[in-house]
Amino acid sequence: MKYMTALITVEDVKKARYFYETLLQQKVVLDFGENLTFQGEFSIHLRSHFEGVIGSRVARGRHNNCELYFEHDDLEEVETLLKKEGIEFLHPITEQPWRQKVMRFYDYDGNLIEVGESMSHTAFRLSQEGLEISEISRITYISEKEVKSAIQKYS
């Protein structure tokens, strides 16, 4: 068995495509009209079509029990863009216990989205704050070798 993609349903494919393609800079790799697949292996599917496929069962509702996760190292830039678009946030940029900065918000259909800085950027940022490599490794759960590599990558 091979994993292929996560799929979320949307009310308006055109509007959802704008959200993911323009605001979150994702690339469409397959376009079947009512179903789009983006690079990175996630898909959006027109809700009314999908409900027909699953025997007219309702595929609606806002739930915070799953999310699509993206990475971008300039979270402030993304947050500013999303706020200008009037996107609803679950929470603004915040630090997780492992010190990674993330924000969570909803797409136009109430699907939960998380954007976080990469863990390599987290390691670099913590080094810029004066933390030692061993401390960064302990906090982030990244090996010391990976922490050194991340610091070198961003330096």
- Tens digit of pLDDT at every position of the chain (155 positions): 777 788 888 999 999 999 999 999 999 999 999 999 999 889 999 988 888 877 776 666 676 767 899 999 999 999 999 999 999 999 999 999 999 999 999 999 888 899 999 999 999 999 999 999 999 999 999 999 999 999 999 99
72, two tokens = 């971008």
82 inside domain: yes
- When divided into structural domains, the chain yields a total of 1
β-pair partners for 126:
none
Answer yes or no: is 148 within a domain: no
99: in domain: yes
**Alpha helices (H) in the chain, listed in sequence order:** 13-17, 47-53, 75-84, 119-128, 133-140, 144-154
- Mark residue 110 as left, alpha or beta (left: phi above 0; alpha: psi -120 to 50; beta: remaining): left
**What pLDDT score does 24 carry?**
96
Predicted local confidence at residue 137, as pLDDT: 97
**Residue 57 contacts residue 64 (beta carbons within 8 Å):** no
What pLDDT does residue 82 have? 97
The torsion angle over the Cα atoms of residues 132, 74, 143 and 134, rounded to 10 degrees, is 10
pTM: 0.83
CB atoms within 10 A of CB 133: 17
Q: What is the domain extent for residue 88? A: 6-117
pLDDT at res. 60: 64
Q: What angle do CA 29, 72, 130 make, to 5 degrees?
A: 155
Residue 93 sits in a domain of what CATH number?
3.10.180.10
